Structure 1
Amino acid sequence: MKHGIHPETRQVVFRDRAAGVAFLIRSTAHSTRTIEWEDGASHPLIDVDTSSASHPFHTGTTRIVDSAGRVERFERRYGGAGTARR
């Protein structure tokens, strides 16, 4: 690798505001806020809205959508089966 062209990486804490979980990982992200981590060192802090701790795909809390209910609601709203007008 060429020297001087890659961004500097460091330990950064990402905190999921929805789940209340924090992760310490290496990142190139910058932040002016810091947090004291479990090891006693101070690391930059970045708040995120969604992470693997709160995303429905990873937590298994996905909702099943009833497609038949959607069709029935559409027919109620717009009146019966769609007949083509010419």
Structure 2
Amino acid sequence: MKQGIHPESYRFVVFKDMSNGYAFLSRSTAATRETIQWEDGKEYPLVKLEISNMSHPFYTGKNVLVDTAGRIDKFKKRYEKKK
């Protein structure tokens, strides 16, 4: 493994799946401006995820449609006019 290429500034960060509310605490160097209070009462930086292992069809075995930003509605409205 190459020396000196890995960051040294790891810190605890909360990752939150916005499609189902699942959150977990891990170490990361991801930059974020938001924070959240965790179960231990401490405040940690928050990284929002669109999908995680708790909502991805491969891991859950369910084919669930995740529409986090209304993309499907925008698509339908756009192409409904052309019909």
Q: Give per-residue Cα distances to partners, 1:7-65, cap 9 Å, x unaligned.
A: 410100010011110010011101111001011110000111000010000001149xx
Q: Which amino acid aligns with 1:47?
A: K
Runs of 4+ in 1 over 6 A off after TM superposition: none
Contact 2:7-2:29 at 8 Å conserved across structures: no
Cross-structure match for 1:28? 29
TM-score normalised over the length of structure 2: 0.66
Is there any run of 5+ residues in structure 1 with no aligned partner, and where? 64-86
Structure whose CA Rg is larger: 1
TM-score normalised over the length of structure 1: 0.64
Q: Percent identity?
A: 45
